[in-house]
Amino acid sequence: MGTKQPAFPGETPEYRAARGKLLDAEAALRDQVEKVAALRRRLPLGGRVREDYAFDELSGGRVRKVRMSELFSRGKDSLLLYGFMFGPKMKTPCPMCTSLLDGLDGNARHITRRVDLAVSARSPIQRIVDFAKTRGWSSLRLISSANNSFQKDYLAEDDEGNQWPMLNVFVRRKGAIHHFWGSELLFEKFAGGDMRHVDMLWPLWNALDLTPEGRGKDWYPALSYRD
């Protein structure tokens, strides 16, 4: 780094030298993240969405149909749509998805100042909402794809009905909806084993990566803890 970094109380020259090297690596990572984000923004339009999918949504205690086009609010032309692994045959939802959504719920009110955000799962909408209440989610827009093919069309479900935690971004251009980006790293092999395709959205892993303990090789979040 070009500027001299301040020292913390009691640190050794050995620590400062090692920290300086790490700081260079962190700065390079930050620059790379910015470069990737710029490349993503320059993507051409993806495929036009072939149908205005009808989802189920709970409103005022009643189930209503909401079209994909209605997920775009006035003045916003980008929609983040997360595929929540909570299929009708699953006894419980995915703990990993749940952990991610725990954090996303707290940020939803900020995110939706600029873009739209929704969470789709294959279970019936009442089941999704009932689970959301146990988590205290209050800011996520929850919809059910139980009666459409959205989840399968956009890689959040495979031919065998297995659910996948796919995040997709859609954009509205000249009255038409197009796919813009999907978290396809989900399907790429990674030396560490975990896909890490949405980790930048996930407070849990980013916090643990700052510690000597790290993520751990075999630890994953649970739906509940005894202590």
DSSP 100-136: HHHHHHHHHHHHTTTSEEEEEESS-HHHHHHHHHHHT
Asked if residue 210 belongs to a domain, the reply is no
What is the model's pLDDT at position 6? 75
Give the pLDDT confidence of 55-109 residue by residue, as tens digits. Answer: 999 999 999 999 999 999 999 999 999 999 999 999 999 999 999 999 999 999 9
Residues 37 and 117 in one domain: no
pLDDT of residue 217 exceeding 70, the answer is yes
The answer to whether residue 208 sits within a structural domain is no
Alpha-carbon distances of 208 from 18, 192, 204, 213, rounded to whole Å: 20, 16, 6, 7
Mean pLDDT over 31-42 rounds to 96
What CA–CA distances, in Å, run from 205 to 33, 46, 88, 197? 17, 30, 28, 12
Residue range of the domain that includes 35: 12-42
- Angle (nearest 5°) at CA 151 between 147 and 155: 160
Domain match, 108 and 73 both: yes
Is 22 inside any structural domain? yes
For residues 119 and 143, is the Cβ–Cβ distance under 8 A? yes
**Contact assessment for residue 171 and residue 177, using Cβ atoms and an 8 Å cutoff:** yes
Number of domains the chain is built from:
2
Calculate the CA 194 to chain-centre distance.
Answer: 15
- Tell whether 76 and 104 lie within a shared domain: yes
Alpha-carbon Rg for the chain in angstroms: 20
* Same domain, yes or no: 132 and 158: yes
Kindly tell me if the per-residue pLDDT of 193 is higher than 70: no
Mean pLDDT (whole number) for 20-43: 96
* Reported confidence tier of residue 192, pLDDT bands at 50, 70, 90: low
